[in-house]
Each structure stands twice: as structure tokens, then as C-alpha cells.
Amino acid sequence: MNPMKRTLAFVFTLASGLALSATAQTAPAPAAAAPTAAAPAGPAKVAVIEFQAAVGQTNEFQRDFADLQKKYEPKRDQLKTMAADVDTLEKQLQAQGATLSDAAHASQAKTIDDKKKQAQRFAEDAQNDLTQEMNDVYNKVASKVYDVLADYAKQQGYTLVIDASEQQQQAPTVLYHIDSSDISKAVVDAYNVKSGVPAPPPQAPSAPSAPKPAAKTPAAH
């Protein structure tokens, strides 16, 4: 594919959604926990959680993500305008190409090229800003969800909690578990109660849904 066509396709992609599925790449490790009591005697009690999805399902993350969507709406609209402008100029050049002089053709082609580059720079800057803000949103909530998870596991007597997130590359592979061992919803519910953030109102069908975070689970020290 022609490099400039790839550029324009990239611009159109960002204009339509501004890559709102961009998420954190790393999550902060919480402060070192105080020494805990020895594990109780008897068989291990193991739980499973999809940590990244759990963070994304909290009311606080949903609220902050919705706020981020609204914040970037003007940039998405601007990118759509820039992409439409380029598309119009390209159609004009294609329609008038046979009647234009070489100099006029070259001048208009350069104008289109310059506008594509400008749109690409704008899109890349917006993408970088969005990614950084998504990192901040995810990491802020992830650390606090981990604290709730640790408290919940201790209260319920779990000796081991395994992260079953698909993107958690360093986590053990979970081949089988029964539904009752999955504490994801219980941890999300506990966090929502602790945070005091109400559930967000239902989104319109056309609104992008919250992404499934791809960040690593904070590890305890």
C-alpha cells in the first residue's frame, strides 16, 4: 500500500475512534504490605480473578473513562474534518487531473501531501496524549483495586489468588476453574462500595464501550 494511503487510513481510523481502546502498558506496584500471619494449616484455598477486566468494570474506571471520551471528542471531530478535507481535495484532483497543467497538478498534489502529514502529526500527538492519560486512569484505579483484592482474599481465607487475565503474560495459565473460585465480581462490588462512586448511566448504543485493560497486575512486595 502506498505510504500516503496508509497515512490517510491511519488518520481516518483515529478520527473515528481516536484509539479509545488504548490502555496502560504498566501498572504501579502498591506499597509494600505489612508482614502477614502464616497461612492456616490445611488444604490451600485458591481463587481466580481477571484483574485487568475487574479494574475496567469498576464504577470509578467507567466514570473516568467516560470523562476521557468527552475530553477527546473535539480532537476526534477535528481529525474527521481534516480527513474529509483531504478526501475532498483528492477527489478534485482526480476529477481535474486531465485539465490541469503539470505545475498546477504538482502544486495541488503537494497541498494534499502537506495536509496528510499535518493530519498524521495531529493524530499521533493526540494518540500519545490519550495513551498517557489512559495509563494514568488505569494505574490510579488498579493500585486501589489491588488493595481491596488483598483485603478480600485475607478475609475469605484464600491462600493464593491467580490472575486469569488473557493479556497477563507472566501469570500462570489457568486451564480450569469452577465458577465459585472466580472472585472478580466480588472484588469489583467491594471496590465500588469502598470507592463510593455510583454506577455510570447506560451509554448510548453508538458510544464506545470501555476497553479491556491490557496492563500488568500490580505485584505485592
DSSP notation for 44-86: --EEEE-HHHHHHHSHHHHHHHHHHHHHHHHHHHHHHHHHHHH
pLDDT at 166: 66
The lowest-confidence range among 8-12, 144-148, 208-212 is: 8-12
Angle, in degrees to the nearest 10, between helices 102-156 and 184-195: 90
Distance linking the first and last C-alpha atoms of the chain: 49
Question: Phi/psi at 212 (nearest 5 deg)?
Answer: -85, 110
Most confident of 14-23, 81-90, 98-107: 81-90
Q: What is the pTM of this model?
A: 0.67
Cβ–Cβ under 8 Å, residues 203 and 209: yes
| Domain chopping of the chain, boundaries | 42-195
Q: Which residues neighbour 31 within 8 Å (Cβ) at sequence distance 6 or greater?
A: none
Q: What SS3 class is residue 161?
A: strand
pLDDT digits (tens, 9 = 90+) for 159-214: 889 888 865 556 556 655 667 788 889 999 999 999 989 988 876 655 444 544 44
